[in-house]
Amino acid sequence: MAKRPPDRDVDEDALRVGEPGHAAAGLTGVLVSLRRSWEQMGTVRTARTLPLLNQQSGFDCPGCAWPDPLAADGDRRKAAEFCENGAKAVAEEATTRRIGADFFARHSVADLAERTDYWLGQQGRLTEPMILHHGDDHYRPIGWDAAFDVIAEQLAALDSPDEAAFYTSGRTSNEAAFAYQLLVRCFGTNNLPDCSNMCHESSGAALTETIGIGTGSVSLSDVEHADLVLVLGQNPGTNHPRMLSSLEKVKHRGGRIVAVNPLPETGLQRFKNPQHVSGVVGHGTALADEFAQIRIGGDLALLTALTGLLVQADDEAPGWVLDSAFIEAHTHGFAEFAEQARHIDWAATERATGLDRQQIERIARMLLDSDRTVVCWAMGLTQHRQAVATIREVVNLLLLRGMIGKPGAGVCPVRGHSNVQGDRTMGIFEKMPESFLRALEREFGVTVPHEHGMDTVETLRGMHDGRIRALVAMGGNFAAATPDTEATERALRGCALTVHVSTKLNRSHVVPGDTALILPTLGRTERDAQESGEQFVTVEDSMSVVHASRGRLRPASEHLLSEVAIVSRLARRLLGEAHPVRWEDFERDYDVIRDHIARVVPGCADYNQRVRQPDGFVMPHPPRDSRTFPTETGLANFTVNVPEPIEVADGRLLLQTLRSHDQYNTTIYGLSDRYRGIEDARRVVLVNADDIAALGFADGELVDVVSEWRTTDGDVEERRASRFRIVAYPTARGCAAAYYPEANPLVPLGAVAEKSNTPVSKAVVVRLEPHAHG
Kindly report, residue by residue over 95-143, the tens digit of the pLDDT.
999 999 999 999 999 999 999 999 999 999 999 999 999 999 999 999 9
Report the DSSP pairing between strands 617-618 and 290-292.
Answer: unpaired
> Judging by DSSP bridges, how do beta strands 285-286 and 270-272 pair with one another?
antiparallel
CA-closest candidate to residue 256, choices 285, 237, 230, 278: 230
Rounded Cα–Cα distance for residues 364 and 287 (Å)? 19
In whole angstroms, give the CA distance from residue 455 to residue 194: 7
CA-CA distances (angstroms) from residue 750 to 400, 457, 711, 764? 35, 8, 8, 12
- The amino acid at residue 348 is A
Percent of the chain with pLDDT over 70: 100
Global model pTM greater than 0.95: yes
Distance CA 248, CA 223 (A): 11
In 125-227, beta strands by DSSP E? 125-126, 130-132, 140-141, 164-168
Per-residue pLDDT at 43: 92
Q: What sign does the CA torsion over 680, 683, 688, 693 have? A: negative
Rounded to an integer, what distance in angstroms lies between the CA atom of residue 115 and that of residue 14?
Answer: 17
**DSSP 3-state assignment of 190?**
coil
Cβ count within 10 A of residue 1: 9
Q: What is the per-residue DSSP string for 202-248?
A: HHHHHHHHHTS-SS----HHHHHT-SEEEEES--HHHHSTTHHHHHH
List residues bridging with 679 in a β-sheet.
16, 672
Q: Could you read off the pLDDT of 566-604 as tens digits, one per residue?
A: 999 999 999 999 999 999 999 999 999 999 999 999 999
* Cα distance between residue 226 and residue 229, in whole Å: 7
Count CB atoms within 10 A of the CB of residue 4.
11
* Average pLDDT over all residues of the chain: 95
- Residues 228/241/733/346 CA torsion (nearest 10 deg): 20
Residue 680's alpha-carbon distances to 18, 459, 663, in angstroms, are 12, 35, 13
Classify residue 730 as exposed, middle or buried by CB count within 10 Å of its CB (0-12, 13-18, 19+): middle
Helices (H), 270-356: 277-280, 299-316, 324-330, 334-341, 346-353
Q: Which segments in the chain show pLDDT lower than 50?
A: none
How many CB atoms neighbour CB 617 within 10 A?
A: 20
With CA atoms as reference, report the closest residue to 344 among 289, 386, 301: 301
Compute the distance between CA of residue 370 and CA of residue 20 in angstroms, rounded to an integer. Answer: 32
DSSP one-letter string for 4-67: PPPSS---GGG-EE-PPPSSEEHHHHHHHHHHHHHHHH-HHHHHHHGGGBT-TTSB--SSB-PP
According to the model, what pLDDT value does residue 774 have? 57
Question: For residue 491, how far is the Cα from the chain centroid?
Answer: 23
pLDDT of 65 reads: 82
List the Cα angle 304/308/313 in 5-degree steps: 155
Of 616, 610, 667, give the one whose Cα is nearest residue 62: 667
- Which residues neighbour 23 within 8 Å (Cβ) at sequence distance 6 or greater? 266, 269, 270, 271, 272, 283, 284
Enter the DSSP assignment of 513: -
Q: Which of 510, 518, 519 is nearest to 492 (CA)?
A: 510
Question: CB of 162 within 8 A of CB of 188?
Answer: yes
* Kind and range of the H or E run holding 155: helix 144-156
Residues whose CB falls within 8 Å of the CB of residue 198, separated by 6 or more in sequence, listed in order: 383, 456, 481, 482, 483, 758, 759, 761
CA 665 from centre of chain:
7
